[in-house]
Amino acid sequence: MTLEFALVLLLCLISSVLLTPVVKKFAVRVGATDAPNHRKVHNKVMPRLGGLAIFISFSIGIIIMRPAGEDTWPIMIGALIIVLTGALDDRFQLSPKAKLIGQITAALIAIIWGGVQVEFINLPFGGRLEFGIFSIPLTLLWIVGITNAINLIDGLDGLAAGVSTIAIFTISGMAIIMGDAYVAIFGLILVASTLGFLFYNFHPAKIFMGDTGALFLGFMISVLALLGFKNITVISLIIPVLILGVPISDTFFAIVRRILHKQPISAPDKSHLHHCLLNAGFTHRETVVIIYGIASMFSLSAFIFSQSTIWGAIVVIAVVLFSLEIIVESVGLLGKNYRPILNLVREKKS
């Protein structure tokens, strides 16, 4: 890391710290606030739009560093569209269809204009799998899916910002190991900008990032993961999935839970991971720190996975899946009665 880049990261951090109070006042003035209800854990009206501070600070860093790449400006324009979509939702409560249109538009700009897409993957035993005409829809599904996954975990003070920071830092670290300075620059600037906001967002939060921040972070994480790990082996394609283990698994089990309960997939509930931990008796702050720990374990497993042989990678995946199953059963993510492994262990003990 050069001195110039270190100073830019410091500038982004300080900018985010200074801009967040300004954005807070602006959010209150324009009425972009979040009122408490039966699904929310906060009990007072909170300003939203905090993602604006992250985006502006991030943009300052990118403009100064000017990372060399044909997809830089398409990514930034896509990010701007996603931020505008989130900001409008924070203020006017857009319909799900309108939000989805904004997300798809941003994603297509990055995909078609910026060329951010997975066109093929190299197979483990030779040859490669070309996606052809399915390249764009698969990439679109990834970007929109991860964008919404980050949005879904934005339910506690500092949760989405912290989990996103861990994921982005991991992607940046692995980019440095692979010699990908482009992704590393993007990622570390985003980490610095998010950390500045987290200073005000950690419990007890003074401002929420809102959809402005959650959609922006989700969009950037999905794009950076594609840039860092596209057109590689089947085994390596699992790395970004591991890094994003918390939002992906929480979204997956939310879908399964709603199918089992015969509810619409888009129906909101209070059975996400953070809700389950709160119901188990953990405090707000303890719940967030526990999920930070789970996110860090996913990131560590991704790093170990990347350095392993094929058999070693299989062992890592097996351990991750087993650990995830134990967590799901312990906190009741699929319901209090879903405990096959824990019940089996209990029966053997008795």
In 3D space, the residue among 47, 42, 33 whose CA is nearest the CA of residue 274 turns out to be 42
Residue spans of beta strands (DSSP E) within the chain: 33-34, 46-47, 120-122, 128-130
Q: Of 249, 217, 226, whose CA–CA distance to 150 is shortest?
A: 217
Distance in angstroms (rounded) separating the CA atoms of residues 89 and 220: 19
Question: Which has the closest alpha carbon to 23: 181, 196, 175, 274?
Answer: 196
Residue with tokens 């501070």: 53
Is 250 annotated for ligand binding?
Answer: no
Q: Tell how far CA 96 is from the center of its chain.
A: 19
Q: What is the pLDDT of residue 295?
A: 95
Checking if the pLDDT of 96 tops 70, the result is: yes
Q: Write out pLDDT tens, residues 34-63.
A: 877 665 665 678 999 999 999 999 999 999
C-alpha 339/C-alpha 329 separation (Å) is 5
| pLDDT value at residue 126 | 61
Q: 201 labelled as ligand-binding? A: no
pLDDT of residue 107 exceeding 80: yes
Q: How much is the mean pLDDT over the chain?
A: 89
CA distances from 70 to 78, 189, 198, 321 (A): 14, 18, 31, 38
Dihedral (CA of 115, 80, 67, 230) sign: negative
Q: For residue 109, report the phi and psi dihedrals to the nearest 5 degrees.
A: -65, -45
- pLDDT per residue as tens digits for the range 194-225: 999 999 999 899 999 999 999 999 999 999 98
More confident of the two residues 3 and 266 = 3
* Three-state DSSP state, 127: coil
Confidence tier at 130 by pLDDT (50, 70, 90): confident
Q: What is the pLDDT of residues 268-312, one digit of tens each?
A: 777 889 889 998 889 999 999 999 999 999 999 999 988 888 788
Neighbour tally for 101: CB within 10 Å: 13
76 has a pLDDT exceeding 90: yes
User: What percentage of the chain reaches a pLDDT higher than 90?
Assistant: 60
The 3-state secondary structure of 128-191, one letter per residue? EEECHHHHHHHHHHHHHHHHHHHHHCCCCCCHHHHHHHHHHHHHHHHHHHCCCHHHHHHHHHHH
Counted domains in the chain:
1
**Cα–Cα distance between 196 and 75 in angstroms, integer?**
22
CB 168 within 8 Å of CB 142 = no
- Do residues 192 and 172 lie in contact, with contact meaning Cβ atoms separated by under 8 Å? no
Query: 122 pairs with which residues across the strands?
Result: 128, 233
Q: Which domain holds residue 257?
A: 3-349
